[in-house]
Structure 1
Amino acid sequence: MVMPKEVTKKTKGQQRIEMKRLVGSRQKVTLSKRRVGLFKKAAELRVLCSAKVAVLTLNNKRKMFSFATSMSRASSTATSVDTPWPSRSKSLYP
């Protein structure tokens, strides 16, 4: 049996990239692009599963962006953003 030669890739393709913090304008652009993608996925989930979905994102300057199936739900959630988040204890997440 002849083993094939190891092929070296010329492009990155779908290889994993190292996750590291971005700085400056690259951080803003990445947040903007990923936020749009996240909101699209939330909308798809709403349509496919008839689910009620709300997504809140905060940038490092605490500017909030939201997506929700009903805007009243998003605005009521947005008003509670300044309250402390619950800790992730086993009692909250069985």
Structure 2
Amino acid sequence: MEFQSDLTRDISPQRKLGRGKIEIKRIENTTNRQVTFCKRRNGLLKKAYELSVLCDAEVALIVFSSRGRLYEYANNSVKATIERYKKACSDSSNTGSIAEANAQYYQQEASKLRAQIGNLQNQNRNMLGESLAPLNLRDLRNLEQKN
């Protein structure tokens, strides 16, 4: 029976397996740092590839190691992607169109909210009976017959 109690103690729900969070800071040990760099670089390259395939995105990834070695991935050409990036950054019409699109979106949202506020104010007036004040006697009788 003692064997079973040891077994249940080892499988208790309090014990958790899996990866723990590590503190993000520079790894001082050179060997450990190099091993971590290689593993994380490979993971990063894999994620870049997956993003390009799954989402049909144009991806370029450039990594320099602490020793100055270059690692890169691109689903097309790194140079072409960088040129496209530079063009997008320097193209003032591109940033202008984004700003215009944002302004238009927020104007539409503001209009929707104003309409919603107006509807809520009308509902409040109806509940308080304030909207009945401008009605004449005939309109009030018609309204009474509807209800």
Return the letter of the residue paired with 1:25: T
3-state SS of paired residue (1:40) = helix
Q: CA deviation at 1:70?
A: 2.2
3-state SS of paired residue (2:48) = helix
Change (3 A) 1:44 1:76: closer
Which protein has the larger Cα radius of gyration, Structure 1 or Structure 2? 2
- Give TM-score scaled by structure 2 length: 0.41
With 13-22 and 28-37 compared, the bigger mean Cα shift is at 13-22
Match of 1:15 among 3, 15, 20: 20
Higher helix share: 2
2-structure distance, mates of 1:76, 1:52: 7
1-structure distance, mates of 2:79, 2:42: 17
- Structure 2 counterparts to residues 50-65 of structure 1, below 5 A: 50-65=56-71
Change (3 A) 1:40 1:74: farther
Query: Sequence identity, in percent?
Result: 34
Runs in 1 of length 4+ with deviation above 3 angstroms?
74-77
| Cα displacement string for residues 27-72 of structure 1 (whole angstroms, at most 9, x for unaligned residues) | 111111111111111111001111110111111122111111124x
Asked if 1:34 corresponds to 2:34, the answer is no
- Structure 2 counterparts to residues 61-76 of structure 1, below 5 A: 61-71=67-77, 73-74=78-79
Aligned residues between the structures: 71
Instruction: Answer yes or no: is the 8 Å Cα contact 2:59–2:81 preserved in 1.
Output: no
User: Structure 1 regions of 5+ residues with no counterpart?
Assistant: 1-6, 78-93
1-structure distance, mates of 2:19, 2:40: 17
- Give TM-score scaled by structure 1 length: 0.60
- Alignment root-mean-square deviation, CA: 2.7
